[in-house]
Amino acid sequence: MEFEPELVGFLCKWCSSAGADLAGVSRRQYPSNLVPVTVNCSGRVDASFILKAFKDGADGVLVSGCHPGDCHYTSGNYKAWRRVAMVKRALEEFGVNPSRLRLEWVSATEGDKFASVVEEFTGEIRELGPGPFNHD
């Protein structure tokens, strides 16, 4: 059977989760591999959440927030930006391909973009194969 990646997506409530909702309202079809966790702000995404997701078996992790300058809480997305960069470096040190972690900016009006991101990311991780702690 073809490898089906398991992906976790941390979406901020105000922009990206609303963008994902819009993809739904527009009935834009995309792969079901990514399961969304809505948090208040991308700045709420603790580095440990990302590591935890990989440790529990995720093959890829998406962090998605409001566009720079548009954060509902002014600047949380900038913090997320730095944290994701930091975790990417850490992943590399552990021998994990850092492209398994992806940061995106998706606004409440970018339903199509959200769907495209998930589509693309699912394809990429499918190419990369199972993640570092995939238990299957």
Partner 1 sequence: MGSKPRVGVFVCHCGENIAGSVDVAKLAEEAVGLEDVVFATDYEYMCSDPGQNKIVEAVDEEGLNGVVVAACSPSMHEETFRNVVEDSGLNRYRCEIANIREQCSWVHRNGGTSPTSKALKIIKGAVQKVKRNIPLEPVEMDHSDKCLVIGGGVSGIQAALDVAEAGNEVILVEKEPTIGGHMAQLSETFPTLDCSQCILTPKMVQVSRHPDIELMTYSEVREVSGFVGNYRVTIEKKPTYVDPDACNLCGDCEDVCPVEVSDEFDEGLSTRKAIHIPFSQAVPSSYTLDEDACLGLNPLCCTECSDACDADAVNYDESSQFVEEEVGAIVVATGYDLYPKEEMGEYGAGSYQDVVDGLEFERMLSATGPTGGEVRRPSDGEVPNNVVFIQCSGSRDPENHNPYCSKICCMYTAKHAKLYKESVPDGNAYVFYIDIRAGGKEYEEFIQEVQEEERVLYLKGKVSKLEEVDGSLRVTGVDQTIGEKVEIDADLVVLAQSIIPSDRAEEVSKQLNLNLGPNGFYKEAHPKLRPVESIGGGVFFAGAGQAPKDIPDSVSQGSGAAAKAMDLLAKPTLSQDPQVVEIDEERCSGCGLCLGQCPYGALELNSRGIAEVNEILCEGCGTCVSGCPSNSLSLKNQTDEQVNEVIKAYVGD
Q: How far apart are CA 8 and CA 102, in angstroms?
A: 11
Q: CB neighbours of 14 closer than 8 A, spacing ≥ 6? A: 41, 66, 72, 108
Ranges within 70-129 binding partner 1 (CB under 8 A) = 70, 72-76, 79, 83, 107-109, 115
d(CA 48, CA 43): 13
Cα atoms in the 13 Å half-sphere on the side-chain side of 56:
10
Binds partner 1 (CB under 8 A): choice among 8, 84, 96, 106: 8
Measured distance CA(124)–CA(99) in Å, rounded: 9
Determine the Cα angle at 13 with ends 115 and 50, to 5°.
Answer: 75
Residue 101 CB, shortest distance to partner 1, in Å, is: 14
Query: Exactly one of 2, 64, 69, 130 binds partner 1 (CB under 8 A); which one?
Result: 69
- Total residues interacting with partner 1, rule: CB under 8 A: 50
Instruction: Mark 10-39 with x for binding to partner 1 (rule: CB under 8 A) and - for no binding.
Output: ----xx-xx-xxxxxx-xxxxxx--xxxxx
Instruction: Name the site residues for partner 1 (rule: CB under 8 A).
Output: 6, 8, 14-15, 17-18, 20-25, 27-32, 35-41, 43-49, 52-53, 56-58, 69-70, 72-76, 79, 83, 107-109, 115
